[in-house]
Amino acid sequence: MDSSKRADAILDNLLSLQTESLALVAVYDEDDVLRYANKSFRAAYHLTPDEQLSWGDIMRRNFLAGVGTVLKTADFEEWLRSTQSRRGKTAFRSFETDLADGRWLWMTETVQSNGWMLCIASDITPLRADDRWLRQDRDLALRASQTDELTGIANRRFIMTRLEALAGKTPAPGIDIGCIAVLDIDYFKSINDRYGHQSGDVVLLDFARHGHSFVRRLDCFGRIGGEEFMFILPDTNIENGLAILERVFSKIRTSRPLPSYPEVSYTCSAGMTALKPGDTAQDAFARADKGLYQAKLDGRDRIVAI
């Protein structure tokens, strides 16, 4: 058998083994749409043989039907936003999850530099239950330490860790390291003063929801304090980064987040910068923050790139 035929035979056997394996195997693309799943995965998450849904749509449908992953939340959309803030942002992670059918899974996620993700899960139900609950408590504590309590998106600790990781990358020739943006809600104090802090919280939640809707697989979006947020856009040049932010700004300008005050709108300002070889996280943050300050001076509701 020549080498090409042998390679084809190996590939055919590998695909056959994955298809019939009791382990759950799935592949998602850079937009988090399911592109491959074996029989075990599709059975666990109640997918037909040809369905290619987004991960969010799979989780939403299963949550409403009471199948698939057990989700202990009264607000699915808030849970989804919070989970997507961390999902796929690191090259590898592992965690435990339980299914509505009583099984307990050990799940791993491996993410390529292009955003494609390989998920593999093994059934660990026979392991001691008390050990499983201890590990789940650990995972919940870790999740809480990385999540902003009010908005459910990534917090300052998580977002700054991702920025440090991006600043430490050595880019391939011709590839941009990425860019970051620091955003601030305009005149936020006046919203709190006039309509109350509860209304201010609603505006923060609205901003987080809209901002999160533009996040791609490898991007990060988080609240870094008060009314200030950050986008991290890996492998993105400043022109494309500005285009993404302009879409965020357009969405925010049309938002009316306070049902009791339908006339109330709000805007935001931002500073953006591209990471340069040799930058530290603080170098990049300082430049973006300087751009934000200039955007405020120039009249707000605008982006200044530095």
Query: Using CA atoms in the order 207, 282, 277, 180, what is the torsion angle rounded to 10 degrees?
Result: 10
Q: Per DSSP, what are the bridge partners of residue 107?
A: 95, 121
Find where tokens 């390291």 sit.
Answer: 177
Distances (CA, A) of 107 to 26, 45, 95, 160: 11, 14, 5, 26
First to last CA, the chain: 59
Inter-residue contact 217 to 111 (CB < 8 Å): yes
Query: What positions carry a catalytic annotation?
Result: 227
| Tokens found for residue 285 | 């943050």
Q: What's the CA gap between 27 and 34, in Å, rounded? A: 6
Outline where DSSP puts E strands in the chain. Answer: 24-28, 34-37, 92-98, 104-111, 117-123, 178-185, 220-225, 228-234, 268-274, 303-305
| DSSP of 217-256 | TT-EEEEEETTEEEEEEET--HHHHHHHHHHHHHHHHT--
